[in-house]
A and B are shown apart, each in its own frame.
Chain A
Amino acid sequence: MAAGAPMGAGTTSDIYKGDAARLMMPTWLIIGIFLLAPVIMMGVYSFLTKEFRGGVVWEFSFAAYDQFFFDRGLFGDDPPTLEWTYIGIFWRSIWQAGLATIMCLLIGFPTAWFIATRDPKSRSIWLFLITIPYWVNLLIRTVSMKFLIRDTGPLNEFLLAAGVIDTPLGLINTDFAVQLGLFYSYLPFMVLPIYAAVERYDFALSEAASDLYAGTWTILRLVIFPVVKPGIIAGCILVFVPSLGAFLAPDLLGGAKTFMIGSLIEEQFKGSAGNWPFGAAAAMILLTLVLVILLIYARAQNKVEDR
């Protein structure tokens, strides 16, 4: 074994045993004060009363959540009925994020599979090609997509000139444009975990299976799928969760009809039309949703590891 090879890696080492608190202190302070405390404070804000020019009045109130879920008529004294506007926006966000995730899976899975089955040298080049766009500024990527697909953009100009279409496709400001933008934003998040799972798969296993009279379909279902499944699930979560709260793609590529959670929240904090407690409440609901998804995922992971 070479001198530089990792040895005893995985053994718990305790050279800095007494220093843990000192070393962790900056992390605890920075993330504790500037993320954990703000999130808690945001939770508090969601139970306060709104001030009309933005900000809050320190008076306890359920008004924000009430406004989110119930309609009490113009003067607020009608019997409450379920308010669908905001629930609808959440539902559309889930729907859009879900479709974007499916698009990523349909394109990302074959891509990941293809890359993982190349020889190691070309593998790293393919992987590099897939990841580069991720490192390009998200805003610039989204603007580029907007430029490409808008009615007077190169795509339509090209298709019109080629005589394929008579009128512009009208892609921009549609649900599909938002899905495309989300797909474009988060595709590498789908490819990478699936790639990692497939790369770990030992193809000798499928040879062994076919030696034991398994057909291609059986091999896929019983041998390969269980190995690749964790990668697929991880990829779906990594795409779905940020898509859910995305702001740029819906804002730049979607129109007024394709309002998503991110834009709803953003609107509450911009200008005088804002409603901080309501924005905080919507953010709390989004956070809860995401944490529930992550918790279910973590539970499932632990179960797999326990086995």
Chain B
Amino acid sequence: MASPEIAVSIDQVVKRYGGFTALHGVSIDIREREFFTLLGPSGCGKTTLLRAIAGFEDVNEGRLLLKGVDITNLPPHKRPVNTVFQQYALFPHMTVFENVMFGLLRKNWIQSEAQRRVQDVLEMVQLSDFASRKPAQLSGGQQQRVALARALAPRPQVLLLDEPLSALDLKLRQAVRSELKALQRETGIAFIFVTHDQEEALTMSDRVCVMSNGRVQQIGSPKDVYEAPVNRFVADFVGETNLLEVTVNKIKDGLASVALPGGNAFECPAAAVVDPGVGHLSVRPERIKVTADGQGDLDAVVTGHTYLGTDIQLLVRLADDEVMSVRLQNSQTTEIPEQGAAVGLVLEAGAARLLAD
């Protein structure tokens, strides 16, 4: 039995398409009132999982519980969850008002109450003035808000969002992020948000689930996932990182002594399940400082820069020919070493993390 604080419990769910397995026994508990993000590259199974919760995909094994109630075999129209679709799927033959009203009428709301509810949610998304328009007469951002209003109107237990921002342009997308987050707090229900955009995931979520190849890689707060990735996939997919192959000498109390092929040795935190031997080190580029040659943890030669606006990206080569990327903030005081210059690299405390596989 799931605890009452759990909104959706995904229990050992397996989904196969012919010979292809899209979900390999996925188990996740999504809490009440949390903004939960499924993050991963396309084909990782995140959308399949969302569609399974909505009821558009049957699962081959496992169970789905909504507030403790088994919904695994319920058809979509009997599940008290609503979806914001990737391209919104607003009914083109209905007005905004009729679109938002649709779910309420299907649930047999009393006409007057339903109308009041539609007005309320339209106000919530600031579209009251557009109630009588057809979807085709709205901008992309407005359509997105109608889709939200339509999904929220029937007061679902959980709101599912399938990459709802991907059809918007960059500026609008950034503005909508905070609106969406605010809306989630206001409604007080769990949002399950699917995206392949790690920045979106990090900025909006209470917790992020990183998925790959139909398996959960890591579940945690944005900070956990970014700063303490459990494996190479998570480190590489969430943010930018340098992955270095190292020799692990010993591990004690979560601290590992590692040696680079070039010979430099140092200690760093290790993800729980690393055995001594060969391992991988993840070093975030913005957590590396550049000093004079010979004074850092590692010696390197600058091979190029890229101007990125807020940052300057420095490419450096280590003694054993490994290439690393270093990010320096673009401020007036930052000294940018010349190409070909020999420099020392200082790893900030906790910057390097030893990963399983």
Interface residues of A (CB under 8 A from B): 1-5, 7-8
Return B110 CB to nearest CB of chain A, in Å: 29
- Tell me which residues across on chain A come within 8 A of B90, comparing CB atoms: 3-4
Return B273 CB to nearest CB of chain A, in Å: 40
CA distance in complex: A8, B136 (Å):
18
Query: B217 on the interface (CB 8 Å rule)?
Result: no
In contact, B87 and A4 (Cβ under 8 angstroms): no
In contact, A1 and B87 (Cβ under 8 angstroms): yes
Query: B188 on the interface (CB 8 Å rule)?
Result: no
Residue-wise, chain B 78-104 has the 8 Å CB interface mask toward A (1 for contact) of 000000000111101000000000000
In contact, A4 and B92 (Cβ under 8 angstroms): yes
Task: From the candidates A3, A7, A8, name the one contacting B143 in the complex (CB within 8 A).
Answer: A3
Query: B138 on the interface (CB 8 Å rule)?
Result: yes
CA distance in complex: A3, B167 (Å):
11
In contact, A1 and B140 (Cβ under 8 angstroms): yes
- Place the interface of chain B in its size category: 10 to 19
Q: Write the chain A residue with the least CB distance to B56.
A: A15
CA distance in complex: A1, B138 (Å):
11
- Tell me which residues across on chain A come within 8 A of B135, comparing CB atoms: 2-4
In contact, A2 and B167 (Cβ under 8 angstroms): no
In contact, A4 and B136 (Cβ under 8 angstroms): yes
Residue among A1, A2, A7 having the largest count of chain B Cβ atoms under 10 Å: A2
Q: Write the chain A residue with the least CB distance to B140.
A: A1
Residues 63-91 (chain B) with a chain A CB within 8 angstroms: 87-90
- Tell me which residues across on chain A come within 8 A of B87, comparing CB atoms: 1, 3, 5, 7-8
- Tell me which residues across on chain A come within 8 A of B88, comparing CB atoms: 3
Return A14 CB to nearest CB of chain B, in Å: 11
Interface residues of B (CB under 8 A from A): 87-90, 92, 135-136, 138, 140, 143, 167
- Tell me which residues across on chain B come within 8 A of A7, comparing CB atoms: 87, 89
Instruction: Report 6 cross-chain contacts, Cβ distance below 8 Å, ordered by A residue.
Output: A1-B167, A2-B143, A3-B89, A3-B138, A3-B143, A7-B89
Q: Write the chain B residue with the least CB distance to A4.
A: B92
CA distance in complex: A3, B88 (Å):
7
Since A3-B135, A4-B136, A8-B87 are in contact, a sample of 17 more A-B pairs with Cβ atoms closer than 8 Å, ordered by chain A residue number, is A1-B87, A1-B140, A1-B167, A2-B135, A2-B136, A2-B143, A3-B87, A3-B89, A3-B92, A3-B136, A3-B138, A3-B143, A4-B92, A4-B135, A5-B87, A7-B87, A7-B89
- Tell me which residues across on chain A come within 8 A of B143, comparing CB atoms: 2-3
- Tell me which residues across on chain B come within 8 A of A2, comparing CB atoms: 135-136, 143
Q: Write the chain B residue with the least CB distance to A2.
A: B136
- Tell me which residues across on chain A come within 8 A of B138, comparing CB atoms: 3
- Tell me which residues across on chain B come within 8 A of A8, comparing CB atoms: 87
Return B64 CB to nearest CB of chain A, in Å: 20
Q: Write the chain A residue with the least CB distance to B144.
A: A3
List of 6 A-B pairs having minimum Cβ-Cβ separation, nearest first? A4-B92, A3-B135, A3-B90, A7-B87, A3-B143, A4-B136
CA distance in complex: A244, B88 (Å):
52
- Tell me which residues across on chain B come within 8 A of A3, comparing CB atoms: 87-90, 92, 135-136, 138, 143
Return B131 CB to nearest CB of chain A, in Å: 15
CA distance in complex: A88, B201 (Å):
79
CA distance in complex: A5, B138 (Å):
13
CA distance in complex: A2, B135 (Å):
8
Q: Write the chain B residue with the least CB distance to A7.
A: B87
- Tell me which residues across on chain B come within 8 A of A1, comparing CB atoms: 87, 140, 167
Return A16 CB to nearest CB of chain B, in Å: 13
CA distance in complex: A7, B135 (Å):
15
Return A19 CB to nearest CB of chain B, in Å: 14
- Tell me which residues across on chain A come within 8 A of B92, comparing CB atoms: 3-4
Return B166 CB to nearest CB of chain A, in Å: 10
CA distance in complex: A4, B140 (Å):
11
CA distance in complex: A4, B90 (Å):
7
CA distance in complex: A169, B135 (Å):
64
CA distance in complex: A249, B140 (Å):
56
Q: Write the chain A residue with the least CB distance to B85.
A: A7
Return B149 CB to nearest CB of chain A, in Å: 13
- Tell me which residues across on chain A come within 8 A of B167, comparing CB atoms: 1
Return B89 CB to nearest CB of chain A, in Å: 8
Residue among A2, A3, A5, A8 having the largest count of chain B Cβ atoms under 10 Å: A3
Return B59 CB to nearest CB of chain A, in Å: 16
Return B85 CB to nearest CB of chain A, in Å: 9
CA distance in complex: A44, B135 (Å):
59
CA distance in complex: A58, B126 (Å):
80
Return B12 CB to nearest CB of chain A, in Å: 25
CA distance in complex: A8, B163 (Å):
15
- Tell me which residues across on chain B come within 8 A of A5, comparing CB atoms: 87
Q: Write the chain B residue with the least CB distance to A15.
A: B56
Q: Write the chain A residue with the least CB distance to B135.
A: A3
CA distance in complex: A132, B88 (Å):
40
- Tell me which residues across on chain B come within 8 A of A4, comparing CB atoms: 90, 92, 135-136
Residue among B87, B89, B138, B140 having the largest count of chain A Cβ atoms under 10 Å: B87
Q: Write the chain A residue with the least CB distance to B147.
A: A3
Return B143 CB to nearest CB of chain A, in Å: 5
CA distance in complex: A7, B138 (Å):
17
Residue among A5, A7, A8 having the largest count of chain B Cβ atoms under 10 Å: A7
CA distance in complex: A8, B90 (Å):
14
CA distance in complex: A8, B162 (Å):
14
CA distance in complex: A1, B87 (Å):
8
CA distance in complex: A8, B47 (Å):
14
CA distance in complex: A188, B87 (Å):
39
Return B100 CB to nearest CB of chain A, in Å: 13
CA distance in complex: A2, B136 (Å):
6
Q: Write the chain A residue with the least CB distance to B99.
A: A3
Q: Write the chain A residue with the least CB distance to B86.
A: A7
Return A282 CB to nearest CB of chain B, in Å: 50
Q: Write the chain A residue with the least CB distance to B87.
A: A7
